[in-house]
Structure 1
Amino acid sequence: MTGAVPAGDVPEGATPAGGYRPPGPGTGLPSVVPAALRSLGVPDLPEGVHPASWELPEARVVVVLLVDGLGAEQLARRSGHARTLRAMSSPAGAEGFACGFPSTTATSLTSLGTGLPAGGHGIIGWQTNWRGRRFNHLAWQDGPDPASHQPLPTLFQHAARRDVTMSTVSWPRYADSGLTRASLRGGGFVGASTHTERTEGVLRAVAQGGRRGRSLVYAYWDEIDKAGHVHGPDSLEWGEAVEALDAWVADLLGRLPAGAVLAVTADHGMVEAPHGSRRDLAHEPALASGVSLLAGEPRAPQAWCAPGAVDDVVAGWRAELGESAVVLSREEAVEAGWFGPVRPGYEERIGEVVAAMLGDATLLDSRDLRPAVLGLRGHHGSITDAETAIPLLVTQT
């Protein structure tokens, strides 16, 4: 096993102990639904899930809006586009709110749905190695059975068993997707393709409160993430997407019943990643040497190696990437807590070598990615505040 990165050698912008301090139990994105359940009067949580260290107001209706790609740093820079969100506040005790590692949608949505970090639920990144081939958790094509791959009960299922009417409002195509079945299963699903349909879907779900009149609604919004990936998180298009979200939130707040709680959060932030800062295994033999499969994401690549090659790959990547990345072996990353406590059997889902890219750098293999992915300007997945800091904004009607 390769020795741990000495604290003094960690590149600028990273913290000691491998470069990342994940949210603790009861904090960060996994704490959102536990806080919502407590707000609704649910007294217990599934085994292993920690109560939130912060509180929402007591309510009979809670709407959790997850805005894909709405990083806290980006929102702060563009707050002029978000008058309604700017008027909302963060709960006491939720300072420094963040997602886990890797800071990516598949992992974060599963943390939201289960109340666990990546190592607890096992959806460790956009891509992983499944039976010797690269498997994409978002597309979920020709992959494992979702309920077997992530067998733990979700918080949505728990809510439904506690007489809380649980509903998801999202794109119709996600109703029966593999990721939904693995991470967000439980309760009803309302398909919504337009802003108007989303509003009506949320209001319809709220009105369907169970015998105790308690409703928990999870709503998903992804246009900001798309704008950031395609145009960059500092682009005009990103700001326009935030304006559209803000207008929608204002309209929804005017139509929710009195006393309803709205909590707005996100799954990750984003950085501008120019192609000139890209490192590519397809063109750099020193980085490709010993790597048999590259998964993860361009800002948080995970490598599986040829037999006996792990130490050489770690050493080679550290030498080649220098201060543009923190590179750890699987054992080092687990020991440093990057994935939180790792459930037995899930270690193999983590790459034998894990890198967190810093600055604006990316690491990928262009032979294995679609042209649309190679053309993206915005990326996420790593340990920087720009990618892990997310908003938690709350208001009660």
Structure 2
Amino acid sequence: MAPIVASGAPSLRDVLAGSVDAVLGRSNALGLPPRRRVVVLVVDGLGWEALAARVGHARTLSAGDRRRIATGAPTTTAAALATLATGVGPGVHGVVAYAALDPARDLVVNQLHGFDPPTAAADRPGLPDGWQRAATQFERAVAEGLAAPGVGPRHYATSGFTREVLRGSTWVGARSIEDRLPAAIGALRAAGRGVAYCYVPELDMAAHRAGWSSEDWTSLLERVDGAVRDAVADLRSGETLLVTADHGMVDVPASAHVVLDDLGLLADVRRLAGEPRLLHVHLSPGADDAAERWAAALGAAADVRTRRQAIDDGWFGTEVDPVVAPRIGDLLVASRGNAAFYATADAPARGMVGQHGAWTPAERFVPLVRFDG
């Protein structure tokens, strides 16, 4: 398998860090000139391949200075946004999956909701303090005297994920897609200099519900493109808008569902984490032949790696902290095509159409589109 991120190539981890550098007048991985204000618009789930397939519905995005970048690993929102926010890989910041094992308690915790205060429900335990281990680019920007607003749906202002992963940003609530870029640009102009993070989750939600090739997803893409068009027309000298995404999408038909229980693969599983297209399998003691058995049972549908192999192959970045390593599965099972893996036939996630998490080009590569004022 090719490296997750090509050596020397800009990737998602460079986008916010490079933007801060540009506002500070420093050289950066993105090649941006000195800027007064940069807005980074993250369109959740907008893959490079999906955008290329819908260019007629996204004429502004298609006409911008556009290049393909890699998201890093894994291609899931919690990990990717943490990588964007911190400028380091999951092996350092510690958010390694959609749902990851907390080794100290032997509990699998959802990484999007786990930063919220724990609930009484067994499926909603909280994450321990310090789980996200890296300083953020927002903190760096504020320390340098820059503004660092974050703009998105209002209810994200009080989320634990915003508090821990987007630490240092000042949240500005904006209900609609059309409201968010003006809010971000306005906040930066009021402050003078800075970098804004602007988030659009709606396309990802539509893809999970109906697929990225659905009319709903395409209609939302048109709205994003219209919002970008209006923002570009309003850009002033010294301002830059960057549009990117955390991951792409694969539509998974029911015929591509693989039920692990039917294959007899759950006997040695202590905890199952990750997500359907990238499983983190935590094994019971003594399951020494598990990698071979899983690889034989899944065949061409999956790449199966031990934790050591996945780390050596750079799945979680160039560095993995010893504290973070036990959060990674004993086995990693990544879909090669459009398959998704479920523990049992009644798994609730089988209702999702659009999915992500693995290393296929459709999931792994996203656009980085630049517009300068």
Q: Please, what TM-score do these two structures have when normalized by structure 2?
A: 0.92
Structure 1 match to 2:179: 197
Partner secondary structure for residue 316 of structure 1 = helix
Whole-angstrom distance in 2 between the partners of 1:154 and 1:57: 22
Whole-angstrom distance in 2 between the partners of 1:321 and 1:343: 30
Structure 1 match to 2:312: 335
What's the CA shift string for 1:268-327, capped at 9, x where partnerless?
001111121111234332x21211111101111110011121x32211110110011110
Whole-angstrom distance in 2 between the partners of 1:368 and 1:347: 31
What's the CA shift string for 1:360-379, capped at 9, x where partnerless?
1111224785x3x3211111
Whole-angstrom distance in 2 between the partners of 1:315 and 1:196: 50
Residue number among 350, 364, 371 corresponding to 1:388 in the alignment: 364
Whole-angstrom distance in 2 between the partners of 1:27 and 1:71: 16
CA contact (8 A) 1:23 1:100 kept: no
Amino acid at match of 2:252: A
> RMSD over aligned Cα, in angstroms?
1.8
Partner secondary structure for residue 366 of structure 2 = coil
Structure 1: where are the runs of 5+ without partners? 1-14, 44-50
Structure 1 match to 2:353: 377
CA contact (8 A) 2:99 2:111 kept: yes
The reply to whether residue 103 of structure 1 matches residue 86 of structure 2 is no
Amino acid at match of 2:248: G
Deviation at 1:150, TM superposition (A): 1.3
The reply to whether residue 127 of structure 1 matches residue 99 of structure 2 is yes
The reply to whether residue 300 of structure 1 matches residue 304 of structure 2 is no
CA contact (8 A) 1:291 1:313 kept: no
Structure 2 match to 1:321: 298
Whole-angstrom distance in 2 between the partners of 1:20 and 1:355: 16
Amino acid at match of 2:14: S
The reply to whether residue 137 of structure 1 matches residue 116 of structure 2 is no
Whole-angstrom distance in 1 between the partners of 2:142 and 2:305: 41
Amino acid at match of 1:235: S
Structure 2 match to 1:242: 221
Superposition pairs of residues 350-361 of structure 1, within 5 angstroms: 350-361=328-339
Whole-angstrom distance in 1 between the partners of 2:322 and 2:8: 19
Whole-angstrom distance in 2 between the partners of 1:154 and 1:367: 40
Deviation at 1:177, TM superposition (A): 1.8
Whole-angstrom distance in 2 between the partners of 1:129 and 1:71: 28
The reply to whether residue 182 of structure 1 matches residue 164 of structure 2 is yes
Using a 3 Å threshold, how does the CA distance of structure 1 residues 247 and 322 change in structure 2: closer, same or farther? Answer: same
Whole-angstrom distance in 1 between the partners of 2:258 and 2:296: 13
Deviation at 1:255, TM superposition (A): 2.8
The reply to whether residue 160 of structure 1 matches residue 145 of structure 2 is no
Deviation at 1:159, TM superposition (A): 0.3
Deviation at 1:205, TM superposition (A): 1.1
Superposition pairs of residues 51-66 of structure 1, within 5 angstroms: 52-66=28-42
Structure 2: where are the runs of 5+ without partners? 115-123
Whole-angstrom distance in 2 between the partners of 1:25 and 1:396: 24
Deviation at 1:197, TM superposition (A): 3.3
Amino acid at match of 2:204: D
What's the CA shift string for 1:95-147, capped at 9, x where partnerless?
5411011101000000000001111111001001122222100121432245x
Partner secondary structure for residue 305 of structure 2 = strand
Q: Please, what TM-score do these two structures have when normalized by structure 1?
A: 0.86
Partner secondary structure for residue 288 of structure 1 = coil
Whole-angstrom distance in 2 between the partners of 1:76 and 1:203: 27
Amino acid at match of 1:237: D
What's the CA shift string for 1:146-202, capped at 9, x where partnerless?
5x1113211100000101111000112221322222211103110111234324421
Structure 1 match to 2:204: 225
Whole-angstrom distance in 2 between the partners of 1:80 and 1:176: 37
CA contact (8 A) 1:366 1:374 kept: no
Partner secondary structure for residue 72 of structure 2 = coil
